Amino acid sequence: MGMIIQGATGDWEVVIGLEVHAQVSSNAKLFSGSATEYGAEQNTQVSFVDAAMPGMLPVINRAAVEQAVKTGLGLKAKINNFSVFDRKNYFYADLPQGYQISQFLQPIVGEGILTIDLKDGVTREIGITRLHLEQDAGKSIHDQHPSMTLVDLNRSGVALMEIVSEPDMRSPEEAAAYVKKLRSILRYLGTCDGNMDEGSMRADVNVSVRRPGDELGTRCEMKNINSVRFIQAAIVYEANRQVDILEEGGTIAQETRLYDSVKGETRSMRSKEEAHDYRYFPDPDLLPLEFDDAFVNAIKADLPELPDAKKDRFISEMGISPYDAGVLVAEKEVADFFELVAKGRDAKLSANWVTGEFFGNLKRTGNTLATSPISADALGEVVDLVKDGTISNRIAKEVFEEMFDTGKSASAIVDEKGLKQVSDTGAIEVAIDEVIAANPEKLAEYRGGKDKLLGFFMGQVMKNTGGKANPGIVNKLLKPKLDG
């Protein structure tokens, strides 16, 4: 559902488009051989090219081109076998060349589609306008010296993919779902680590409002927002700001705004009139980027199964619920873990265990999948023990917690503590007889018509067997005995 803001003069619809900057996972920068490791000491990953020394020339990094094509394929987009690098000219202290090498008129990837997952299994298709490759700038640091700005060029020249959406989103939730889905796909592809904290993914958010069904309104762009939560908050603030202006009879000025996450508001950075004239022109240092279909097809052949396809397969071939399937495929690592657990086992039971107890215990112990003390095989053993009736589901949960805490295997804990479920009808019958004998009044009440006491007897039997009695068998044997 779209976000509708109810104003005094009627309803307003929110329209959102996103430009996501995703750092290409690559060992080298877009046009130089410098390393791109996050968190390295300042100005230690800078080549002569990155510092724009006189006479230095950019040379395109093939790996970055492959990553862009791969991403384009993952977004079901048109791959342009011919694209052009342009210079975007402007002066800034952390932009050593005085221009950013980007792609303007002829990007490497054209139109594509991203399917976003909303509540209750609803999906929507969001149009991708284009994807292009460009260089990142360096970083200006304003707070480490009283009168000087320091510049760190480690990021200068790092390869970015700018992924531009159509203005297809209608609510902060849809924008959030878009960013999450895009991040998921990039991670599946291995083309961007999607780490928003480290700045490897950030978004420029375009927001406008209009009367439902009207033409698009004037938009404002909020630059460089680096968390999904902030993106949503910025949209809410900005949409309401625009509605307030329009409701009072004002007009929206097209401008670039800054989202202040501390104050939770947006502020004007520069108006359209103040906008730079970037004087784009094809970079004469770089020939147009050309490749043949074989290059694209080789990348296509290597494409991993992406979340949408995986989800469909989980639902149709494994019988998982759409909700669980959605949860399982969001992160590739989780999906891979699940598939290892489910291999040769009951898929639904495996899914329940992964999304339920496994996630719960990760959270309880402050772990992530990467640091989990429980391997897929270890969890699989638990599923096996439950499935073949060796332990009950309740016992299994206790065993599982202990596995997390001690690192022991499920079978070891079951053996050690004698938790094996009793399915021996003889032993269970003995236990039932003992309980009936010990509770003559309750038996009389039951036989007098108080059916509910069946639960009491059931509980007593389970208690006396230390929870190990197979509940199904207890249930089957108990009733005839009570009934006499």
Partner 1 sequence: MSDLTKLTIAEARDGLKASKFSARELTAAHITAMESAKGLNAFITETLEKAVEGATRSDDRLAKGEAGNMEGIPIAVKDLFCTKGTLTTAASHILDGFTPEYESTVTANLWAEGAVMLGKANLDEFAMGSSNETSYYGNVVNPWRRTTDDQPLVPGGSSGGSATSVAANIAMGATGTDTGGSIRQPAAFTGIVGMKPTYGRCSRWGTVAFASSLDQAGTMTRTVRDTAIMLEAMAGFDPKDGTSVDMEVPNFEAALTGDIRGLKVGIPKEYRLDGMSEEIATLWEQGVDWLKSAGAEIVEISLPHTKYALPAYYIIAPAEASSNLARYDGVRYGLRVEGENLDDMYSRTRGEGFGEEVQRRIMIGTYALSAGYYDAYYLKAQKVRARIAEDFKEAYKLVDTILTPTAPSAAFAFGEKGDDPLEMYLNDVFTVPASLAGLPGISIPAGLSSDGLPLGLQLLGRPFDEETVIRTAGVLEEAANFTAKPTTWWRA
Contact residues toward partner 1 (CB under 8 A) are 48, 51-60, 87, 89, 91-93, 96-99, 149, 151, 277, 279-281, 284-287
Note the Cα 1 to chain centre separation in Å.
21
Minimum CB–partner distance for residue 282 and partner 1 (Å)? 9
Smaller CB separation from partner 1, 57 or 253: 57
Residue 12 or 99 with smaller CB distance to partner 1? 99
- The C-alpha atoms of residue 259 and residue 254 are separated, in whole angstroms, by 15
**Residues forming a β-bridge with 85:** none
Residue nearer to partner 1 on the CB measure, 99 or 337: 99
Classified as helix, coil or strand, 169 is strand
User: In 10 A of CB 6, how many CB atoms?
Assistant: 9
By beta-carbon proximity to partner 1, the closer residue of 282 and 326 is 282
SS (H, E, C) 28-51: CCCCCCCCCCCCCCCCCCCCCCCC
Least Cβ distance, residue 272 to partner 1 (angstroms): 12
We find the least distance from the C-beta atom of residue 279 to partner 1, in angstroms, to be 4
How many angstroms separate the CA atoms of 100 and 263, rounded? 31
Gap between the Cα atoms of 159 and 198, Å rounded: 15
Task: Tell me the closest approach of the beta carbon of residue 172 to partner 1, in angstroms.
Answer: 34
Residue reference for tokens 């599982």: 400
Residue (46 or 325) nearer to partner 1, CB:
46
Least separation, in Å, of the C-beta of 19 and partner 1?
20
Residue closer to partner 1 (CB basis): 26 or 191:
26
* Residue number with CB closer to partner 1 (50 or 117): 50
Least gap, CB of 30 to partner 1 (angstroms): 12
Q: By C-beta, is 63 or 118 nearer to partner 1?
A: 63
Which helix (H) or strand (E) element contains residue 379?
A: helix 376-387
Supply the DSSP symbol for 9.
T
d(CA 216, CA 209): 7
Burial readout 415-451 (b: 16 or more C-beta within 10 A, e: otherwise)? eeeebebbeeeeebeebbeebbeebeebbeebeeeee
Q: Report how far residue 317's alpha carbon sits from residue 51's, in angstroms, rounded to the nearest whole number.
A: 54
CB of 70 to partner 1, least distance (A): 22
Considering the complex, what minimum distance in angstroms separates the CB of residue 224 from partner 1? 19
Least separation in angstroms between residue 32's CB and partner 1 is 10
Nearest to partner 1 of 98, 319 (CB atom): 98
Say how many Å lie between the first and final Cα of the chain, rounded.
59
CB 205, CB 231: distance < 8 Å:
yes
- Alpha-carbon gap, residue 461 to 451, rounded angstroms: 17
Q: H or E element: which one contains 290?
A: strand 289-290
